[in-house]
Amino acid sequence: MVTSIGTGKDVFWRNLLAGCCGISRVEAFSTEQFPVHCGAEVKDFAADAYLHRLQTREVGRASQLAIAAARLALQDAAISIAEMDLEQVGIAVGTTSGEPGQIESVDDLYVEERFGQISPSFIEMYPCSVLAAHIAAELELGGEVLTIPTACAAGNYAIAHASDVLRAGRAKIMLAGGADSFSRITYAGFSRLGAISPELCRPFDRGRKGMIPGEGSAMLVLERLSDARRRGARVYAEIAGYGLSCDAHHMTAAHPQGEGAARAMEIALRASGTLPEDVDYISAHGTGTPTNDRLETIAIKRVFNDHAYRVPISSIKSMLGHSMGAASAIEATACVLAITDGYVPGTINLENQDPECDLDFVPNQARHHKVDIAMNNAYAFGGNNSSIVFKRCEA
Amino acid sequence: MEHRVAVTGIGVISIYGDSPSMLFAALCDGHTGIHPVGSMPRNDCACHLSGQLTDFQPEKYLKGRPLRPLDRVSQLASSACGLALENSGWDAEDRSSVDLALMVGTMFAGMHTIGDFDRTAIVSGPASVSPMAFANTVISAAAGQTAIWHNMRGANSTLAMGSISGIAAVGHAADSIRRGTSEAALAGGVDEFSIESFCGFDRAGLLCKNSTEPERPIPFDQHRNGFALGEGAGFLALEELAYAGERGSTVLAEIKGYATAFDYSQGKDRELAVRTLARTMQAALERSGKTIHDIDFVSASANGSVPRDCYELMALASVFAERARDLPVTAIKCGIGEALAASGPLQLAVAIDILKTGRLPGIIGLAELPPSCPLQGIQAETRDIRARNGLINGVGLDGNCCSLVIGLPD
């Protein structure tokens, strides 16, 4: 994984448990015309270290982040590409914006009346499907190569679809996750909605002022359990089931009673054969906007009743900002690491908890806590809701 | 146990009109929909042809509520989905009791909306952008807007696999019904013609061009010189076969299997490109429990592209072996242009009419096959064939391939 608090699973997890904050002043573009100036960018990312077959200039930043995360994931899974049947390896990448930098360059030309100078490579570098295609081209993979652009829930969607591909026997190995690069289009949009916090990100806090746009990528290596056992792989966790739903209510506002979010959690519990009281940890969508955090609390209570007050819930967006399509893939990684490591990350900047958000949000400090079953929640524009249940895999 | 997947409705918005029968009739009659491109801010593009829609009127399909929140791509998707729902008899009451899943395939989604939004921010400052427009800048906006318009509360997915996104979305949704994840879904694809895509493709040298010869976006033709950019939307209502029976739906066809694969040379290595496409077709046949002898016709992806049409020819020749010579092949992009993610679902709509009527539309404008072309069933004339199963191909510009077997219920 490549995140604003570090690259590689171990650095990420150490910094996440330490409560490190990846939020700083935006460097990708000038924020002079904006009322806000913070972002959660990945600084000092050196794409050349990860691109061997493709050239850095041939692929946009989101692809570069995704390729880096994919290489790191394969390395962590101790999979050697040379030994794989490459036709049996596929990819599913979630994203919100694909490669926005490409259309931004075209827009710059357009307003300067130099539209005729569009780069001949624009049309090949822009469609969001390049995220999965570029990973496949870099790693020479020949299986199913899917990009799932379902906005801020995209990482979860990609993991869910990849698990389907494996269950249907259409691949031996799936790389699944999400990627997004820092984008002025996204920043302008959220800024216009008044959704960006002028300072830190404080999910579930009474003084929360919004989300912080971010970027990054996380990729997970998924295999059928029997295959993983056979090759003696380290198994972090099992994808026990998922639930997807749509509010069909409003493009940018969630359902006022958290109907769709609750339904996704219920479907995920049912699909995974899990009772609500058996869930040991919930990774919240927790963007830090006043509405999201309040409605998410309502939805969790609807599904978990009394257990809602006992289960630790955290928003790691307090540290990473909202890395868009990558966010739920990064959060999925946090869920599986919580299972293997016995710690749950905290929600930082939680000083005065909102009385309307009265659950255990693991304030400020990571906590030693045994997790056998974790649920990862993510929501998106269009009223898209997603929940995935991860379970410990006994040896 | 694997379920079987029925097609119980179709909705199309195409250059030929808003019904599968209009699309089919025009193709059978040999009327091309490709025409001189309309007004563009620049006229220095090498290509002057397109399959741009000439009279799409969203208010005909989307009634009773303001259309303004939907950008054109969302209007195209919502309109075609509405027609598919109507055709399959999924009325509002049914939709309140069943969580219908939606899978939208798209290559560019609202690229023009995204560009417009960004240009407004550049010219007038970020405070001047519209929040309503921002909602349409997410790539999944068409899926979200369609779900809201038609109250579809099931899994809401968007699939991006370049120009094969639409057919892959149908395959993927069919697979989730086959595995019992959902009982019913709407799946298809949408893409719009925009200045960004037209000029982008033109600059990349992919569109048919008027250099030494006239523009010839004719699939498989010896003198083809690129494709004409089209647009549209096509969606299929899919249901588990037994469930469709209980509901009393008309079963139009059965989706029997599909496969996708990726050519990691992205078209640069001819041998790998051909092998990948051949492997995709073979996998689709295997998953459908069919052999080459069960396939009565192929709806090719060919669009006039110089290298890719050739790859598809070679892959068809290799997969169909002794059957290749007389294999009936059609290629509807001769008439609609390369409608990107809408292409595959429109090919499926046409395939369903081929199954129904036994008529195979000819390839409009096809004058001369490449010398030594092993497939003699690629013809300009519409003709009658025996049609029980068809193989539908999607060959992406980026290395992604998809094949799907559709047929009359076994």
What percent of chain A lies above the pLDDT cut of 90?
93
Is B139–A149 a contact, with Cβ atoms under 8 angstroms apart? yes
Same topology, domains A2-230 and A239-391? Answer is yes
> Which pair of tokens denotes residue A274?
């899990």
The domain over range A239-391 is classified in CATH as 3.40.47.10: yes
Q: Taking CA atoms, what residue in A is nearest to B280?
A: A143
Chain segment A1-27, per-residue pLDDT in tens: 999 999 999 999 999 999 999 999 999
Would you say B61 and B78 are in contact if contact means Cβ atoms under 8 Å apart? yes
Q: How many residues does chain A have?
A: 395
Quick one: tokens of A131? 């995220």
Question: Cβ contact (<8 Å) for A148 and B160?
Answer: yes
Residue B41's pLDDT is 58
DSSP state of B264: T
B206 contacts in chain A (CB < 8 Å) = 123
pLDDT at A349: 98
Confidence of residue B42 (pLDDT cuts 50, 70, 90): low
What distance in Å separates the CA atoms of residue A29 and residue A215, rounded to the nearest whole number?
14
DSSP letter for A142, please. Answer: -
Domains in chain B with CATH codes: 5-253 (3.40.47.10), 257-407 (3.40.47.10)
- Could you tell me which residues are beta bridge partners of residue B49? B36
CATH code: domain A2-230 is 3.40.47.10
pLDDT at B93: 80
Q: What is the pairing mode between strands A173-180 and A89-94?
A: parallel
Helix (H, G, I), strand (E, B) or coil at B395: strand
Interface contact A189-B168, CB threshold 8 A: no
Nearest to A244 among B145, B155, B206 (CB): B155
Helix H or strand E encompassing B254: strand B253-262
Amino acid at residue number B30:
G
| DSSP letter (8 states) at residue B326 | G
- Give me the active site residues of A, please: 152, 285, 322
Is A395 in CB contact (< 8 Å) with chain B? no
Domain boundaries, chain A: 2-230, 239-391
Q: What pLDDT shows up at residue B258? A: 97
Does the structure show a pLDDT above 90 at B384?
yes
Q: How far is CA A59 from the centre of its chain?
A: 21
pLDDT at B399: 97
| pLDDT at B211 exceeding the cut of 80 | no
pTM above 0.95, yes or no: yes
Residue of B nearest to A250 (CA): B148
> pLDDT tens, A189-239?
999 999 999 999 999 999 999 999 999 999 999 999 999 999 999 999 999
Mean of the per-residue pLDDT values of chain B: 95
B122 to A170: CB separation less than 8 angstroms, yes or no: no
